[in-house]
Structure 1
Amino acid sequence: MTDDMMTGGFSRRAFMGASIAAAAAMAAWPKGLRAQAADRKFAASLGWTTYDSGRHLQDGFNAAVAELGGSLTTTDAGFDARVQSDQIDSLIASKPDALFITPADAVAIAPAVQRAVAAGIPVFCADSAIPGVLVNSTAMSNNFGMGQYSCESICKALNGKGKIARVMLPQNESWDQRTLGMEWTLRRYPDVQIVTEWAFALAGNVTPRQAVDNILTSNPDIDAIWCAWDGAAVEGTLAAKAAGRDNLILTGIDGGSQAFNYIAGDTPLKLSMAQSFYEMAYANVLYAHEHLAGRPAPRLIVTPTYAVTKDMLADSIPDDFDVPGRAQELGWVRAV
């Protein structure tokens, strides 16, 4: 991946920083359009604002609106699809110029999103695609690729042979692609066997920590645990340490200061596929402005993911790695 390769609608070299990108975009707009941008009324239906992922998404939306213009009304569904559907309907009634959505359960909220589209509201999604609904633009990671890459790292660490467990995240169709990517990698490693698995349920009573405790009790000889998200990987790391399994290998997906601190601390958590949540949100706002100005927006933007290991955290634990251009300053190279 070179600096001049395209990410979304412009080159990575041109997208060196959020403030720089904002200034360049604003400078390119005629004076009348800049005045219109300041008056734009935006709304964001966020599936969650917790964890590093939710915080970075919210920060990206807020920063982009502040820099590019407009006002923003935000709701938080707390991972509840019913609540998010109701919130989307309320935001539709407010008639925003554009609606931003981060889906916790993309399938469940699809009818509400379709109602927004039917009402003529431009819709821009971050983190997950909405199946069956033609929104204006979606900015997200390559979930299948992240699953492939993180599983590959486990298989290589085990020299192609061993017993593993997996902790899955099936309630969001996009997130479930990570498990499919993991399975694709295992096709090339027949001697790496999945001996047990657990699927997280938001409405369930078992936490990832409890699930990994049970996995380690029932399977004391497993070599690694592949986790579909960092929350499970962090809780799994605590379970591994409590069980005295410092030699266990865990991998996660999401990125952020919590996972980075565990990786830097030489714990069983060895890898996080760090997603560019801030950039997803920023791209949503940027292309909402572009669409409202009569210019095209890319239907799909695949934002960068960085395979973060201990050596990349030797100098610092960056919380701003997903601000456009910051990873390049850190010397990080896009993995997926």
Structure 2
Amino acid sequence: MNINDLNFKLSRRTLMGGAALLAATQMLGASNARAQNADRKFAAALGWTTYDSGRHLQDGFTAAVQELGGNLTTTDAGFDAKTQTDQIDSLIASKPDALFITPADAVAIAPAVQRAITAGIPVFCADSAVPGVAVNTTSMSNNFGMGAYSCEHIAKKLGGKGKIARVLLPQNESWDQRTLGMEWTLRRYPDIKIVADWAFALAGNVTPRQAVDNILTANPDIDAIWCAWDGAAVEGTLAARAANKPDLIITGIDGGSQAFTYIAGPSQLKLSMAQSFYEMAYLSVFYAQQHLSGKKTPRLVITPTYAVDESMLKAGIPDDFDVPGRAAELGWVRAV
């Protein structure tokens, strides 16, 4: 063995030993942080826990509290604003160290959120902003950008000319921004005509499937359907199959296993703007911990969105794409 080989082995051994020590130190630091934060009491007033979006949000809150420390109480409003308002008031009375909220109807629950702030409880929102209320941190997607991007996808597929319908989601002010982004994109495509609109109402009796059935019956020559969320896009795909419309183009917004399965099919559902719900929730807990430790926190965080099409799902359907770092491992690049 020459001296260079010896130096290499010593250097490599030193490097590996240093890496192991760093990893051990990081694990010890995380363990210490959990111990220091163990007595912190958190509450989450979730607007919904159904669908992939609700499940990923709930998983993000749960994992973050487990990893960063504290105890978590969770409620589920099932998309009902009155129920969520009552749940927020009940959680205020329990005096948590911080309150996490995912609003289904942000305007309707704004007074309850303000009551939490007035009571001195730090509030952290995920997925949607609450208008007129100064919460500590909101972690959410670029809704305007997602609407614009998915509309651009349709416009390019149609070569800038065709007939489209829209399934809208005006219930939440943040979600409605998707429609505004879509409309901004269409200004550059005057030969694309909107021939039908349907606005979903949480308390309504018409399902997205029924609405798309009616749209396709009234407009048999339609080329595409832009949907403000994946639930409508999936139901629209089922309607397109029933109507024997194999060439119809459908896009959605949210991401998750259900939509990805249809996209990979392949099917009429061609694109989902996949949001980082898990990361939104995790950020809420992380910044609550930072705030309670006397550190600065951002007022607004825009989390990554990935424009997922069939080509990105060749290796399988990932359910953990929105765990921080996982999208990079998959080779996915942030679109918005």
- The two structures have a TM-score, normalised by structure 2, of 0.91
Q: Distance in 1 between matches of 2:334 and 2:89?
A: 37
1:228 alignment partner in structure 2: 228
SS at 1:240 equivalent: helix
2:302 alignment partner in structure 1: 302
Tell me by how many angstroms 1:58 deviates.
0.1
1:246 alignment partner in structure 2: 246
AA of the residue aligned to 2:41: K
Does residue 178 of structure 1 match 2:172?
A: no
Q: Distance in 1 between matches of 2:249 and 2:272?
A: 12
1:56 alignment partner in structure 2: 56
Alignment of 1:177-326 (within 5 A): 177-326=177-326
Note closer, same or farther for the CA distance 1:212–1:96 as it changes in structure 2 (3 Å cut).
Answer: same
1:4 alignment partner in structure 2: none
Tell me by how many angstroms 1:38 deviates.
1.1
Q: CA RMSD in A?
A: 1.6
Q: Distance in 2 between matches of 1:156 and 1:222?
A: 16
Tell me by how many angstroms 1:25 deviates.
9.9
How many residue pairs end up in the alignment?
A: 314
- Judge conservation of contact 2:225–2:251 (CA < 8 Å) in 1: yes
Higher relative contact order (CA 8 A, sep 6+): 1
CA offset digits 1:241-292 (Å, max 9, x no partner): 0000010000000000000000000100000000000000000000000000
- Judge conservation of contact 1:26–1:68 (CA < 8 Å) in 2: no
Larger Rg, first or second structure (1 or 2):
2
- The two structures have a TM-score, normalised by structure 1, of 0.91
- Judge conservation of contact 1:252–1:273 (CA < 8 Å) in 2: yes
1:5 alignment partner in structure 2: none
1:43 alignment partner in structure 2: 43
SS at 1:121 equivalent: coil
Which aligned segments of 4 or more residues in structure 1 are displaced greater than 2 angstroms? Answer: 23-29, 33-36
Tell me by how many angstroms 1:36 deviates.
3.5
Q: Distance in 2 between matches of 1:301 and 1:323?
A: 16
Note closer, same or farther for the CA distance 1:221–1:24 as it changes in structure 2 (3 Å cut).
Answer: farther
Q: How high is the sequence identity, in percent, across the aligned residues? A: 80
1:155 alignment partner in structure 2: 155
Q: Distance in 2 between matches of 1:165 and 1:311?
A: 25
- Judge conservation of contact 1:26–1:34 (CA < 8 Å) in 2: no
1:115 alignment partner in structure 2: 115
Q: Distance in 2 between matches of 1:224 and 1:35?
A: 53
Tell me by how many angstroms 1:35 deviates.
3.7
Unmatched 5+ residue regions in structure 1?
Answer: 1-19
- Judge conservation of contact 2:34–2:70 (CA < 8 Å) in 1: no
- Judge conservation of contact 2:30–2:68 (CA < 8 Å) in 1: no
Instruction: Identify, as 1 or 2, the structure richer in helix.
Output: 2
Q: Distance in 2 between matches of 1:136 and 1:163?
A: 43
